[in-house]
Structure 1
């Protein structure tokens, strides 16, 4: 089922399985990341968790890997504003650890997006 799954794709699959599960089990964890302009926060959080799980499964199946790679890259681009909001909010606080983590997440999204895109190609 996982024939020739690229190492970077395995990282994306693992991240999506973990994050997607948390979206469904504890959606309130993601509420602070939601930009105010996004409607129906809880519904969007749950829907993005379902999307992450579907993308992860799609990446594991060779026949759906190409579509899942594109969808995964698109999903990561779509949630990027939440990562930016998290970083901006953290900078307004005094927790240096949270600030470092929030800022470090931003450039880490690029290799994840690239890994998702490449997963669909190989």
Structure 2
């Protein structure tokens, strides 16, 4: 839900050359919600686990970028 409440903060974690940063933040927030629900359903749990792992690997570069350029985590005042 933080993706929607603090979208601008999450958008700052994405490099400036990426188009539609705020839209991408909302899409990833929605994707996280869907994956969370799929993890709760026993029939879809295994596939959702694989998709969640792929998703986390895919967004990891944004976290690295934010750490390198000093973007504070959403909801924090500074990087410390």
TM-score by length of 2: 0.81
Which of 38, 42, 53 is equivalent to 2:18? 38
Q: Does 1:98 align with 2:79?
A: yes
* Residue in 2 that maps onto 1:114: none
Gaps of 5+ in 1: 1-20, 92-96, 100-122
Give secondary structure in 1 for the equivalent of 2:70: helix
Distance in 1, matches of 2:6 and 2:79, equals: 20
Gaps of 5+ in 2: 72-77
Equivalences, count? 74
Distance in 1, matches of 2:70 and 2:17, equals: 19
Distance in 2, matches of 1:90 and 1:28, equals: 15
Bigger radius of gyration among the two? 1
Q: Does 1:69 align with 2:69?
A: no
* Residue in 1 that maps onto 2:74: none
Cα-Cα RMSD = 1.7
Tell me which stretches of 4 or more aligned residues in structure 1 moved more than 6 Å: none
Show CA shifts across 1:31-61 (max 9, x none). 1100233221011000000011111111111
Give secondary structure in 1 for the equivalent of 2:15: coil
